[in-house]
A and B are shown apart, each in its own frame.
Chain A
Amino acid sequence: MSVLAVEGLTKSHGRRPALSGVSLTVDRGEIVALLGPTGAGKTTTLGCIAGLVAPDGGRILMNGRDVTRADPRERDVTMVFEGFNLLPLLSAYDNIAFPLRSPVFRQPAAEVDRRVRKAAADLRIGHLLGRGVDQLSGGERQRVAVARALVREPRLYLLDEPLSALDLKLREALQEELRGLQRDRQASILYATHDFHGAAAVADRIALIAGGRILQAAPLERLIADPAHVGVGRLIGSPAMALFAARAEGGTVALAGGGPRLAPAAARGAAGAVTLGLWPDDIVLAAAPADGLTEGEVYATDFRGMDRAVQVRFGPHAFRKVVPLALDLAQGARCWFALPAAAAFLFDGTTGLRLGTGEQE
């Protein structure tokens, strides 16, 4: 049974819909990343699950029990917020001890002290316990907030961009911490983020959210092999999926503005406006012309240390791809590429839903 099952959650802020039918599950001991752009509805979803926001419709089940209208205290979840997390009038110690002194989760003083020191040691903030909130740096505050989440063993951890304000090193350390938490305690975690790398690093499954709707929820490999929606391509990968506006007609796909014409399997039976998608890794890119390659222009390059990301333009289209440094593509240079039909995905031009599959017959 899932620790959490959300079914068809809807919520509007005034006339503006924030959630239009969010459904997702988190199993025991599972880390699910809720990945989506800013304003997609991540925070509202977490707020509904925590009981801080009353949804307009839909159901929230925890261990099979309907808690849609239950008080936050009864849900036994903990939450780390994106920005403001610490109670300003309390010390770091008292902030971490805060849940264990509440009427609901009260523990004896000795046990409180033991757990606070353990959590602080785990996050390497033992030396900060006596400090006031205003004497802590941003990263230290965030770690105190995570420590407060750790002193309890809640049914579900809700983390709203908990690491986005941290520098890279600290972020990686905390990601490790979350993994350890899952391993040692079978913790169930719902982790909202807009950062693809962060989601990929910690999550067992990624639920993609955009425009208040879950596009697809699956392990990363599945999302890559079998994206259900054009939005999946936009959110997954760095660089993300190369997407081209195109028209399907008679089993072939013609890119808008007279680019190359492809015949992926999915094009059979499709007609009208479509979006053609290819993972950048599947695009063939060369510095010299060859048979079957189309010409383009290197519009921008981005040196990344071990490799280089290039942006290629042709006609009205553009895509980004990572190439080895050995491939000599300077900004403004001409280049040649091929879009293999076998690796291409087709999405409906209006709904964004996937059409057929791009695999070979």
Chain B
Amino acid sequence: MRSRPRSAFLLPAVVLTVYMVYSLGPVLWIALSSIKGRQDLFTLPPRLIFTPDFAGYQAVFGVGAARDSAAAIGLSQALVNSIVVSVAGTLLATVLGTLAGYAASRFRFPGRDDFMFFALSTRMIPPTAVLVFYHVMYSRVGLSDTVGGLVLVTTFINLGLATWIMKGFFDGVPVEVEAIARINGYSRFWAFRRLVLPMVRGGIAATAGFCFIFAWNEYSFASILATTKANTLPVRLSSAMGATGIEWTQIFAAGMVLIVPVVVFFYLIRRHLLMGMTFGVLGKGGT
């Protein structure tokens, strides 16, 4: 076989380089800015060598000297809210989605296909279309601006996806697994808990990863339903004004705090990304 001429690699290399600078450039900029002092922030050209200043991070995590100004902006409280909402919402969606996905994979019941379509449709609805309705409903029942209310909404937006992905993983487990157990003296529930669940451990992890990323990034619902007390980090960030104007360092630090978990989770579930998407959402034989 003839090796390709060097020029064949040139165009892809150029395109990829441009694309990487375009996509990673802002991240790098945020990363550097988050550890710059005020005086270094706006110098042109941007300085690449400087003394790092972690005041922004201290503010976000509510420690050290910057504690008071951070409290004023409320970033550390928003971070706590974000963690609580994301973790609780992820746990709920993963647990319920696992159970629902198993039912959808194994049992025939009236309206199963409609149910699965509905589950998918919850992810297709633009949040802005139902925001007003949620807002009214939440204020009526007293869930407005509560962490509990946000956990509920986060669970809701993730549950359909979790159900679909888990159904895909359960479809990959032969039905003989439960059959073998039931014929040999075990209950179906025992088979589910002790045989099937261990076989889809990777799938559960991937589902939780997906749910966490979506919950962590969620902005639309939180921006309307949790305006002050229950503010999450993405919402707080968009309006982070302090007594001395816009606290850029804190904003950049908070941005990094938002980005890092997403990167970590994507890295952890990277092997399942394609499988989760294709198995779960495109499905083996659809619904």
Contacts and interface: CB of A to CB of B under 8 A. Distances in A.
Contacts of A83: 174, 176
Given A87-B195, A89-B195, A73 B176 contact: no
Nearest to A151: B184
A81 B198 CA distance: 22
A78 B177 CA distance: 14
Contacts of B176: 81, 83-85
Given A73-B185, A148-B184, 18 more contacts: A47-B179, A51-B183, A73-B186, A77-B183, A78-B183, A79-B179, A79-B183, A81-B176, A81-B179, A84-B174, A85-B176, A87-B180, A89-B195, A98-B181, A102-B181, A102-B186, A103-B185, A103-B186
Contact of A73 (B174, B177, B187, B199): B187
Interface in B154-186: 174, 176-177, 179-186
Contact of A99 (B179, B184, B195, B199): B184
A87 B178 CA distance: 10
Given A84-B174, A84-B176, A89-B198, A52 B182 contact: yes
Contacts of B177: 84, 87
The bracket for how many chain A residues form the interface is 20 to 34
Which 9 pairs between the two chains have the least Cβ-Cβ distance? Answer: A102-B185, A104-B185, A99-B184, A84-B174, A72-B182, A84-B176, A105-B185, A52-B179, A102-B186
B184 A102 contact: yes
A94 to B, nearest CB: 12
Interface string B93-126: 0000000000000000000000000000000000
Interface string B194-230: 0100110000000000000000000000000000000
6 contacts: A50-B183, A52-B182, A71-B182, A73-B183, A81-B179, A105-B184
Interface residues of B, number: 15
A50 B187 contact: no
Contacts of B182: 51-52, 71-73
Given A85-B180, A87-B180, A89-B198, A99 B185 contact: yes
A148 B180 CA distance: 10
A88 interface: yes
Interface of A: 47, 50-52, 71-73, 77-79, 81, 83-85, 87-89, 98-99, 102-106, 148, 152
Nearest to B174: A84
Nearest to B184: A99
Contacts, number: 58
A141 B159 CA distance: 38
Contacts of A81: 176, 179-180
A98 B179 contact: no
A219 B134 CA distance: 71
B191 to A, nearest CB: 9
B241 to A, nearest CB: 55
A290 B182 CA distance: 65
Contacts of B195: 87, 89
Contacts of B199: 88-89
Contacts of B180: 79, 81, 85, 87, 98
Nearest to B191: A87
Interface in B39-59: none
A203 to B, nearest CB: 22
Contacts of B184: 78, 98-99, 102, 105, 148, 152
A83 B186 CA distance: 21
Nearest to A102: B185
Interface string B228-250: 00000000000000000000000
Contacts of A99: 184-185
A73 B178 CA distance: 12
A83 B180 CA distance: 12
Contacts of B179: 47, 50, 52, 72, 79, 81
Interface centre among A102, A106, A152 (most CB of B within 10 A): A102
A306 B226 CA distance: 86
B186 to A, nearest CB: 5
Contacts of B174: 83-84
A85 B182 CA distance: 13
A350 B149 CA distance: 68
